[in-house]
Amino acid sequence: MSDNPLDTNFKKKSEFLIGIDSDGCAFDSMEIKHKECFIPNFINYFGLQPISKYAREAAEFTNLYSKWRGANRFISYTLALDLLEERPEVLSRNVKIPKLQGVRDWIQRETKLGNPTLTAEVEKTKDPDLELALKWSLAVNDMIADMVHDVPPYPNVRESLIKLDPVADMIVCSATPNEALNKEWEEHDIAQYVDAICGQEAGSKKETLGQAKACGYDSDKVLMIGDAPGDMKAAEAVGALFYPINPGAEEASWERFIGEACDKFLNGEFAGEYQQKIIAEFDSYLPELPPWKR
């Protein structure tokens, strides 16, 4: 599968289009990936050993328990550094928090925030911040490849895909690298139900969903399923509908999807009051301020 499946493989076959996020939405893989793979390497590569407790808290907040949940790794981990820089307990220890200005500048000018574009940028600029971020990101991927397996999709994910397969085109729309997505969807034999698997190399979720929608779908027949505000923003940006998988209540969310929301979408009854109600509920699950600021 190419880095951008929409360039080569994707064609409109059905009236409906559904984008599905992967980590934390289809799979219960967010906790193991961040707590066991991302964060230990974050502490190690960015010299956060003296404040490891606070580094862990900041990274867990930005990646798992806040409105930034599900953001691209380079964005969410620079946000964690920002939280550390202003935390009194960190300041009192006189620990130098890396600014990673080179990474921040790259984030501003690049939309495909993945290792291939970062590698090219490192080769071009020799920027030490980018070199460090690439080493960290590659180490994370290696650890995920070694550790994350046998994590099944949430109950009712497979059943939902089977139900939708005859009537909708479906794509995986994720900020996870393509290699990991392909491995996870194929390992559990659900890749067969989607028409494209689009990870961080394909661009932002907004770009991926927008490219697919541009193949000729009506706005009220395009739905994004996700567990993070970024998924909702991607849907809004391209004029699509959004169904939330509530963090901490994923199984109930998928049960509601297959039993209620899916049919409302297919019958044209999803937009308006129903969507507003479930989005208001979703919004209550994720705070903007970390616990130490509340």
* Alpha carbon distance 117, 207 (integer Å): 16
Domain-embedded: residue 18? yes
Average pLDDT score over residue span 188-206: 92
The residue to which tokens 């960015």 are assigned? 46
Residue 8: pLDDT over 60: no
List the CATH number of the domain containing 208: 3.40.50.1000
pLDDT band at 10 (very low <50, low <70, confident <90, very high): confident
Residue 1: pLDDT over 50: no
Residue 27: pLDDT over 60: yes
Contacts of residue 194, Cβ cutoff 8 Å, sequence gap at least 6: 20, 161, 170, 171, 172, 185
Q: For position 99, what pLDDT does the model report? A: 96
Domain-embedded: residue 133? yes
Alpha-helical regions (H) of 126-177: 128-147, 157-164
pLDDT band at 2 (very low <50, low <70, confident <90, very high): very low
Domain with 188, as residue range(s), is 5-29+152-283
Show the tokens assigned to 253: 């969310």
Q: Are residues 48 and 105 in the same domain?
A: yes
Average pLDDT score over residue span 8-17: 88
Please, are residues 257 and 251 in contact by the beta-carbon 8 Å criterion?
A: no
Q: ∠ CA 279-285-291 to the nearest 5 degrees?
A: 145
- pLDDT tens across 43-82, in order? 999 999 999 999 999 999 999 999 999 889 999 999 999 9
Q: For position 36, what pLDDT does the model report? A: 97
Q: For position 175, what pLDDT does the model report? A: 86
Domain-embedded: residue 39? yes
* Alpha carbon distance 199, 117 (integer Å): 13
Average pLDDT score over residue span 151-162: 97
What three-state secondary structure class fits 222?
strand
* Alpha carbon distance 204, 287 (integer Å): 23
Q: Are residues 22 and 35 in the same domain?
A: no
Q: For position 7, what pLDDT does the model report? A: 53
Average pLDDT score over residue span 105-128: 95
Q: Are residues 116 and 163 in the same domain?
A: no
* Alpha carbon distance 196, 204 (integer Å): 15
pLDDT more than 90, % of the chain:
90
Contacts of residue 211, Cβ cutoff 8 Å, sequence gap at least 6: 6, 10, 203
Please, are residues 194 and 185 in contact by the beta-carbon 8 Å criterion?
A: yes
- pLDDT tens across 200-253, in order? 888 889 999 999 999 999 999 999 999 999 999 999 999 999 999 999 999 999
